Amino acid sequence: MLLFIKAQTFVNVNDTAYLFVEGYKHGQIQWQQSSDTITWTDISGASVNNYPLFPVYPAYFRAIVNSGTCNTLYSQTIKIELSNFQCGDTLFDYRDGQKYPTVLIGTQCWFAKNLNIGEKLEHGAEYQTDNGIIEKFCYNNDDNNCNIHGGLYTWTETMQYDTTEGSRGICPSGWHVPSDQEWIELELALGMNLETAMLSNTWRGTDQGTQLKVGGTSGYEALLSGNAIPGGYFNSLNQYEFMHSSTRYGAGSAWRRCVRGGDPTVGRWNTFTHSYGLSVRCLKN
């Protein structure tokens, strides 16, 4: 039986790769590396599946699995290259193979597409829970809406049940869920003044919402992806975009950003509970 490695084939400098063997069910695993595929050495401490790797030079990797039988299993070999990521490059998410365009706005590097990762659940019949599996809702429970608009995630799922502002949450390695302050920095970079940006539970600014929407000058490309409402309902597709921040407001809600069709402004609100499913944009560390 051939074991297949699931990992990105390049890693951005200073980022982490994860080595994962598909088909591995039991036995002792040991990861090895090589510069030429001829001479192999064990990686110290690398004896778990989904092993976090911090590459410092290009190399080949494989896994050896000893299940207590006479036959030692060797995985396929994979080469991981190092890449100097530049904002504007397309990000490859090793976890599921999806690709995300990125855009520099001011000094911040943003996803230019909503995050779409995780196992799809039927909204209203199933719930996103702290079970070690990233889970998402798709608008109207339609997979195609996730492919176009991204997944919809509760705040707790987005944060992976960590309440720390600026946490990675469900974002790829090297990225995080933007804080309320980081959203403000984005708005300031698009021309909103600070006094206006600090207003809450209202629509603010001049044309910043227009800049953020598809075809706007920012390159952010908000699609108006709607939301998932507690109780199994969906609302506002092609009318509103609701985006999580990692900043809590009290115990049961968090700050979010909103843009809507026909409105040039941006909403800063804290009125939804954590159980609403919203879109997620990741921000580079």
pLDDT in tens, 118-177: 999 999 999 999 999 999 999 999 999 999 999 999 999 999 999 999 999 999 988 999
Helix (H) or strand (E) holding 14: none
Q: Is 146 exposed, middle or buried (0-12, 13-18, 19+ CB in 10 A)?
A: buried
- Transcribe 19-77 into DSSP letters: EEEET--SSEEEEEEESSSSS-EEPTT--SSSEEE--SS-EEEEEEEE-SSS--EEB--
Question: Where in the chain are the domains?
Answer: 4-83, 91-284
Q: Return the structure tokens found at 276.
A: 């609403």
Annotation: CATH topology of 4-83: Immunoglobulin-like (2.60.40)
- The per-residue pLDDT for 69 is 65
Is 203 within 8 Å of 265 (Cβ atoms)? yes
Distance of alpha carbon 230 from alpha carbon 285, whole angstroms: 31
Tell me which DSSP letter residue 153 carries: B
Distance of alpha carbon 244 from alpha carbon 69, whole angstroms: 50
Read off the pTM. Answer: 0.80
